[in-house]
């Protein structure tokens, strides 16, 4: 995958941002980087214990990572504290990729 920033990408981000943040177009750009957002093949995040003992997953949120971070953190914290994942996290079981039943 190509992670090089493009002029079109920067333009679109700045154009949209300028509608929300007055004066953003007058700011100096000192550095540009582009990254990839982790996603899973089925577009659901992977949250919870994996197929390997001791490994907890909290990834694959793609563009919703910032929105889902608080509930994902609460779910992982519950497991780390000896509890269970909430019911809503069943669909996000990372073992679905290893063919391991939940």
Taking the C-alpha atoms of residue 6 and residue 10, their distance in angstroms, rounded to an integer, is 6
Q: What is the mean pLDDT of each run of 10 residues along the chain (102 residues)?
A: 86 93 93 88 94 93 91 96 94 88 60
pLDDT, residue 81, reads: 95
- Measure CA of the first residue to CA of the last residue in the chain; give whole Å: 32
pLDDT, residue 55, reads: 93
Residue 73 structure tokens:
């953190």
Q: Name the helix (H) or strand (E) containing 66.
A: helix 65-80
């Amino acid at each position: 995958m190509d992670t090089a920033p493009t002029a079109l990408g920067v333009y679109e981000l700045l154009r949209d941002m300028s509608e929300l943040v007055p004066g953003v177009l007058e700011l100096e750009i000192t550095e540009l980087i582009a990254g990839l957002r982790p996603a899973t093949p089925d577009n659901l995040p992977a949250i919870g214990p994996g197929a390997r003992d001791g490994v907890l997953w909290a990834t694959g949120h793609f563009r919703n990572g910032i929105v889902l971070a608080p509930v994902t953190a609460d779910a992982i914290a519950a497991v780390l504290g000896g509890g269970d994942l909430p019911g809503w996290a069943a669909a996000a079981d990372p073992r679905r990729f290893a063919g391991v039943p939940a």
